[in-house]
Amino acid sequence: MTDGVSISKLDADGAREKCESLAEILWDCVEGGASVSFMWPFDVSQSLSYWSGVVAALSENRLRLYAASYNGRLGGTVQLWLDGPCNQQHRADIRKLLVHRTFRGRGLARDLMRHAEAEARALGRSLLTLDTVTGGPAERLYESLAWRKAGVIPRYAKWPDGRFCDTTVLFKEIA
């Protein structure tokens, strides 16, 4: 664990309690230009709506949500989705690795990923998958954590301003 960083698992009640902070993190990432499924204009009310859906999925035990705090302030989050079909119960998806711009460069993303991987392993998952913007800092982070590239899909998603971006699909065998 990086100095000053702590990781916690949030259940539905914990996520509800921290919903405003989670919404601020997502809003900041989109405002900063991150391609994380949302388009400009994007406001905090849209972010709160998104997190309401996450709380519902947590209540249904479809995912695990981890939050990173730096010196006591919530600064990042990642989701481990477990709700695959019956023939894919050996794997999980990493989604929405988000770190507020104020907290970047402090190891939150790396610690969140390591924690999510360890939790997936403890849950009996042996394969993780994710997708990210091709050539971006997140792709370099994942590759530094031994994730392997499955391929690149051109024009798969859009930046918040509407421009297309390519997406890299990565995987990691963890057992």
Q: Are 173 and 127 contacting, i.e. CB atoms less than 8 angstroms apart?
A: yes
pLDDT score of 2: 86
Task: Tell whether the model's pLDDT for residue 21 goes beyond 80.
Answer: yes
- What is the extent of the structural domain holding 79? 5-173
Task: For residue 113, count other CB atoms closer than 10 A to its CB.
Answer: 23
Work out the average pLDDT over 107-123: 98
Q: Are 53 and 73 contacting, i.e. CB atoms less than 8 angstroms apart?
A: no
Work out the average pLDDT over 140-152: 98
pLDDT score of 175: 84
- Among residues 13, 153, 129, 148, the alpha carbon closest in space to that of 81 is found at 129
pLDDT score of 44: 94
- In the chain, how many domains are there? 1
Helices (H) and strands (E) in the chain, counts: 5, 7
Task: Tell whether the model's pLDDT for residue 171 goes beyond 80.
Answer: yes
Task: For residue 35, count other CB atoms closer than 10 A to its CB.
Answer: 22
Work out the average pLDDT over 127-132: 98
Residue 134 to residues 38, 76, 110, 125: CA-CA distances in angstroms?
17, 21, 18, 26
CATH number for the domain including 81? Answer: 3.40.630.30
Structure tokens at 169: 């699909």
Give 61-113 pLDDT, tens digit per residue. 999 999 999 999 999 999 999 999 999 999 999 999 999 999 999 999 999 99
Give 132-143 pLDDT, tens digit per residue. 999 999 999 999
Burial of 158 (0-12, 13-18, 19+ CB in 10 A): middle
* Local structure of residue 123 (DSSP, 8 states): T
